[in-house]
Amino acid sequence: MKKRVFISNLIPAAAYQKLSKRFQVTWNKHQLTEKQWESRIGPYHAVLTTLADPITAKVLNAAPHLKCVANFAVGFNNIDLVTAKANGVCVTNTPDVLTEATADLAWALILSCARRLPEGEKFLRTTGFKGWGPLFLLGQDLAGKTLGIYGFGRIGKAVAQRGRGWNMPVLYHQRHRESPSVEKRYNSRYVSFETLLRQSDILSVNSPLTTETRHRFTSKEFKQMKPNAIFINASRGPIHREADLVKALKAKTITSAGLDVYEFEPKINKCLLKLPNCTLLPHLGSATLETRTKMALLAAENIELVLSGRHPKTSVLR
């Protein structure tokens, strides 16, 4: 009898096509709650999940046959890793394949904030183009500005690499310092968190969400940043405290912010929606056809490997 696989939501069909050749696959196409997961997960040997799926201890304990949770994301904070490990369930993610797309998106936010592009487009669509003006919607130059990166992993390095086009010196902070060769490659310098805050003209958050990084950016941190600083978060929403960011933007403690993720996603602080100095996107970091297809295929391959008794390509648990 074929082993059973559950795909939790709408993803590129490549994953279903790959898995259905070997397994009995159920493809769900709407979001499930924790209770719905508990009631449905029991028969399955593997599940292909998204960040929105609450794979909690209750869900995992309701799955006696489960061998693999393949998360369609680089993050995995939606999964109870402690329970998964205790139950002998392999957890995988999809790193690397979304690095370039997410770095592109971070830079789209940087450019949008620096040149006030959303404000310009909204003005044109609602008011109409009235002609050029020397003081109209003045933004900021990027050439030579200091790019600060919180979390210098694959995506952080890709964001730094793109800064070379603007001849930007890069400051970075994370738990460990990179080798001198890596720092030279990315024109980067390791600094304390406080120095990162004080000296960055653009501060890009590219860190995973952990107990250490949760609410790392609050009113205290925004007050230490430059008044003309741009804050970018295309990583995980709870790394910043949204109410405090609203206060900083209203008070012009910092100039602007660009967000692709939110503290209580999919809910967004209503005040953010009203602020002209905040560019908001609906979690589009890896949203290209090529990247999402690669993610789907990697998640499917991890499931194939685990259910065949082999090690997955990208295991989260060690």
Close Cβ partners of 20 (under 8 Å, ≥ 6 residues apart): none
CA angle 211, 216, 218 (to 5 degrees): 135
Close Cβ partners of 274 (under 8 Å, ≥ 6 residues apart): none
Helices (H), 34-98: 34-40, 57-61, 81-86
Count Cβ atoms below 10 Å from residue 147 Cβ, excluding itself. 27
> What's the rounded Cα separation, in Å, for the pair 138 and 98?
33
Estimate the crossing angle of helix 117-126 against helix 99-114, to 10 degrees: 60
Asked if residue 19 lies in contact with residue 64, where contact means CB atoms within 8 angstroms, the answer is no
> What's the rounded Cα separation, in Å, for the pair 45 and 298?
17
- E strand residue ranges, the chain: 4-7, 24-27, 46-49, 68-71, 90-92, 147-150, 170-173, 188-190, 202-205, 230-233, 256-259, 278-280
Just list the catalytic residues: 236, 265, 283
> What's the rounded Cα separation, in Å, for the pair 269 and 271?
5
> What's the rounded Cα separation, in Å, for the pair 66 and 80?
14
Count Cβ atoms below 10 Å from residue 245 Cβ, excluding itself. 27
